[in-house]
Amino acid sequence: MREEINRTQNERIQSIEDKNYVDMKTAITVLSILVAIMIAYFGFIFNYINNLDTKVDKNNAQYIAIEAQLSQIQTDISWIKREFNNH
């Protein structure tokens, strides 16, 4: 009797273990969708970082242009001071 119970329990356990809970086609489809979403997400992040770098570079170029203009103004002011001192 005990052997019969153990045998039937083993058969039930084996039938549960052999059963696939998800069809392979469905699993591949879900994994493909998740991978596509992750790729799109990382693409958006990369694009955002790239745009941010471009804005920083543009601002740096503007600051350099302003510094060059200020340097020219300082040179002009020192030239004007020298001219006034000479007269």
The amino acid sitting at 23 is D
The amino acid sitting at 45 is I
Query: What pLDDT, on the 0 to 100 scale, is given for residue 24?
Result: 85
pTM above 0.85, yes or no: no
- 69 versus 6: the higher-pLDDT residue is 69
Any idea where the domains of the chain sit in the sequence? 2-86
Q: Does position 18 have pLDDT exceeding 70, yes or no? A: no
CA distance to 39, 40, 49, 58, 77, per residue, from 45 (Å): 10, 9, 6, 20, 48
Query: What pLDDT, on the 0 to 100 scale, is given for residue 78?
Result: 92
Query: What pLDDT, on the 0 to 100 scale, is given for residue 17?
Result: 62
Region 28-50: mean pLDDT is 94
